[in-house]
Amino acid sequence: MADYFVGPMDVAQFLDEFLPCALPPIPALPKDHFSAMPQVLLESDMYQPFIDLVQKRKLIPKYKIINTSNHPDQDMGDGWKLKPDPTMYCEDLDTTEKVTKFGELELHFKFKVSESADPFTDPKAGDDSTKWSFEARTKDGRKSRAQLAYYASEWCARQHRRFAFSIFIADRFMRFIRWDRAGAIVSERFDFHDDCQPLIDFLWRFTHVDDAGRGRDPTVRPATPLEVKHAREQLWKWRPEAERPVVVFKIPGVDNKPREFIAWGSMAYSESLVGRCTQAHPVFEIETARLYFLKDTWRAHDLGQEAKILHDLDSAGVQHVPKFVCGGDLSSDATMTDLFVPVEDFCDVYDKVDECDDEDASNRDSTGSGSVSSEVETPPPLPPRRDGSWRCGSNWNHITRRIHHRFVVAFIGQPLSRVTSSQQLMQVVSDAFTAHRQAYEMCHYIHRDISARNILIDEQGRGVLNDWDLAKKESELKRRRRHEETGTWEFMSCLLLLNHHSIHTIQDDMESFVHIMLYHGLRYLPHSRPITAISLIKRIFNDETVNDDGTRSGGVNKRAMFKDEAYLGDDFCFRSVPLQRWLVKARKAVLQWLRCVNPRKDDGDSSDEGDLAPRTAPLRSRCKLYTHEGMDNIFRNALSLNTWLQEETPVDVFLVHRTSEKHTLDSDYMDEDESMGNSRKRIRT
């Protein structure tokens, strides 16, 4: 999570901002109480002396610090072994059998013998803080920062938290860190051997606030024995592989009466510490005796509420979308890291189409018709900024205010990879396309993340278009954050991959449906390139270039596939005749649109045949992708054919060729990039 650390904050301000509370008298200790820490050569020799000095003076009533450094968490799953430095637990927690429990951790400490391992560097008096690199670039500094981020990521993935605290110690120096889904605030470093009062204040305040004050989510509670019994009876299909507690989520109903839903484990959770950090849970409600699906996420403040979008779609009668039950934003539950980024850098981050110098971005209107609502939903006002005069750096547009969002729908689907035939693949994706069309034509929403993971199969074997969290009304797309990128890399349109400044249109989404069909056909269904299927998938869908400015682009190989029949060749075919006919027509439709919107040679195309179009490009209104109708007809015509294969067993080519690998993690040699945890393929804001 490089560039998401904001610091160095004054220690006194850190305590007052994040741990304000009325306290009983703080124990009186000499300022040099921790000078008794011995000078050691090994990090592990620092642990017990520190623990003894804390607990000797009863600085953490009702809590305890345990040396967990030699005890991997047995419940991590996936073969990973993570052994954090000493951690704080509630005093009554039983750690006799399992010493390390990320699911119960309250406060994390990270120790280093040398101050050279400090992951951050404070500017000196007189330095220009706007030009100062706060994140240390040394090998040891990067390693320390990566370890801190990885521990915090696992911690926040295993618990339901709004924020968390860590303490970093390097020799005689210490820093406080507060993590949330927007980033991390880091205190200035101080010598706790010479003056331990800031540490005493932190520990005393931390152990005297309530659970919510320490970062735990007050709307999630442990299940009762009866609720655990219901979970094991009703949710056993989705039982977690590793041990996970049964919990109860509280969500406001449509009449504001709280409803409670039991969850056991998660169908999906984010390993990233910052961002949307979505968790997905099958849940059971005792009152209605029904199963539901619960989504818990941290939405960017200027994106709409997915709960409201689903409610709008449901009210309009849009088919093949999840049926909304209840939920929305959790009141007053938002990140704080963003509040210390200056308002001029954080608020003024919208580009208008007419100010964009990219001709392609400004010319790619979805239809050019006047049927779309002109109403633009203005992002809600931001709260006042806090004092961030101490902050290093000047570019903070990537740090976004995030609001906790949770809702329930009456649908638990199966992934698209579970299709049983090419005909069902066509039907399921066609249903999702119908949902996309109706959402646009009835409610003016564009989905903006058409991907395989967002198309699900219902109990009748039909398709459902899920995950509307990035959807926007077309009129709202005229304004966007400068750093905003939406979609899932493998399935994004070639024009969006080639130029992330482009406005996301319905044509981009329609092209994504083509990529989904081709991807699943190559991966699961019989065709004429079985030997090279994996290579084809990687070359077409994973095409990526890192630019000089550090940004990524792609789409060159996808464009070549449409333009020149590259990679697949002109003799490629699926065994399923209807699927092959669909592919030929769909590829032609996409190529026609590419020729229309980009008739000139692209600057980045060095080939001799850079033109995407004949000399006279067709009018956009004649293109099959101008509206949904053309692609809809291609789907319907394919489904109407009676030549679908009757005996067809999908086989995953990746599963056939995959070799099992054991994952091991030596936390002392973790690279910073590995600590981010989020897939590089999915671009979410």
Reply yes or no on whether the pLDDT at 659 is more than 60: no
pLDDT of residue 501: 78
Q: Inter-axis angle of helices 422-443 and 628-640, to 10 degrees?
A: 150
Quote the strand ranges of 91-163, DSSP E.
107-112
pLDDT of residue 553: 87
Region 597-616 average pLDDT? 47
pLDDT of residue 12: 97
236 or 676: which carries more pLDDT confidence?
236
Number of residues in the chain? 685
Reply yes or no on whether the pLDDT at 160 is more than 70: yes
pLDDT of residue 357: 36
**In terms of C-beta density within 10 A (0-12 exposed, 13-18 middle, 19 or more buried), how is residue 78 classed?**
exposed
The percent of residues in the chain predicted with pLDDT above 90, rounded, is 72
Region 358-362 average pLDDT? 40
- Reported as a pLDDT band with limits 50, 70 and 90, residue 348 is very low
Please, what are the domains in the chain?
5-214 (3.90.1570)
Region 552-564 average pLDDT? 92
Continuous H helices in 451-493: none
* CA–CA dist 209, 508 (Å, integer): 49
- Which has the minimum average pLDDT: 94-103, 194-203, 265-274, 621-630? 265-274
pLDDT of residue 140: 97
Reply yes or no on whether the pLDDT at 618 is more than 60: no
- Fill in the amino acid letter for 681: K
Which positions ≥6 away from 213 have C-beta within 8 Å? 19, 21
Express each pLDDT in 469-497 by its tens digit.
999 998 888 665 545 567 899 999 999 99
Arithmetic mean of pLDDT over the chain: 87
* CA–CA dist 180, 203 (Å, integer): 19
pLDDT of residue 619: 78
* CA–CA dist 517, 536 (Å, integer): 14
- Which has the minimum average pLDDT: 99-103, 283-287, 481-485, 639-643? 481-485
pTM for the complete prediction?
A: 0.88
Region 562-577 average pLDDT? 93
Closest CA relative to residue 465, chosen from 453, 479, 474: 453
**Residue 440 and residue 357 in contact, taking contact as beta carbons nearer than 8 Å:** no
pLDDT of residue 21: 79
Among all chains, which residue has been given the structure tokens 């706790």? 192
Reply yes or no on whether the pLDDT at 664 is more than 70: no
pLDDT of residue 457: 98
Region 292-320 average pLDDT? 96
118 or 395: which carries more pLDDT confidence?
118
* CA–CA dist 518, 134 (Å, integer): 45
- Which has the minimum average pLDDT: 162-176, 507-521, 541-555? 541-555
- Which has the minimum average pLDDT: 1-10, 427-436, 550-559, 612-621? 612-621
pLDDT of residue 343: 60
Express each pLDDT in 410-459 by its tens digit.
999 999 999 999 999 999 999 999 999 999 999 999 999 999 999 999 99
Reply yes or no on whether the pLDDT at 673 is more than 70: no
pLDDT of residue 669: 31
Reply yes or no on whether the pLDDT at 359 is more than 60: no
pLDDT of residue 602: 47
Sign of the CA dihedral running 283, 309, 436, 572: negative
Region 397-417 average pLDDT? 95
Phi, psi of 116 (to 5 degrees): -70, -15
600 or 266: which carries more pLDDT confidence?
266
- Which has the minimum average pLDDT: 214-228, 399-413, 548-562? 548-562
Among all chains, which residue has been given the structure tokens 């009748």? 460
Reply yes or no on whether the pLDDT at 275 is more than 90: yes
Long-range pairs of 627-630 with CB within 8 A, sequence gap ≥ 24: 627/367, 628/433, 628/436, 628/437, 628/440, 628/441, 628/506, 628/510, 630/589
